Amino acid sequence: MPAQQPQLPVTSIQLNHTAVCASDRQRSAEFLAGILGLEIGAPFGPFLPIDLGNGVTLDFYEVRDQPIQSQHYAFLVPDDQFDTMISRLEAAGVTYYADPHQTEPGKVNDWFGGHGAYFADPDGHNMEILTRPYARP
């Protein structure tokens, strides 16, 4: 039986980047960057990055020969920018929802004393903006 490796403290582990599959990486990156009010970085190999405020990068990766598997991405956003993001969704003609199952169109939630909304990106990824992190037991 192999020897157990020492465990690192949880605080030393951080997400650095993740790939976001897209049928058109430019279109998808521009869409999300526009809603969140962020800049798109310079291409890095096959990836088109968006840097988030906590050091994590979303690397948009174009997939042409297979369907895109929908994923969920949640963004903790400042209270004072939430309404602006909702306005950007409305201006883009994108329906947002108060719930992840998309049964309450045009509404936001007030979970955990903040605000939140869900919307689909051009490839059907379930995006979420929220102003308070979920309370964990």
Please report, for the chain, the start and end positions of each structural domain, with discontinuous segments joined by +.
Answer: 15-130
How far apart are the C-alpha atoms of 82 and 132, rounded to whole Å?
Answer: 11
- From first to last of its 137 residues, the chain has per-residue pLDDT tens of 566 777 767 677 899 999 999 999 999 999 999 999 999 999 999 999 999 999 999 999 999 999 999 999 999 999 999 999 999 999 999 999 999 999 999 999 999 999 999 999 999 999 999 999 998 77
| Rounded-to-integer distance, Cα 137 and Cα 18, Å | 26
pTM: 0.90
* DSSP-derived secondary structure letter, 124: -
Superfamily of domain 15-130: 2,3-Dihydroxybiphenyl 1,2-Dioxygenase, domain 1 (3.10.180.10)
Is the separation of the CB atoms in 60 and 50 below 8 Å? yes
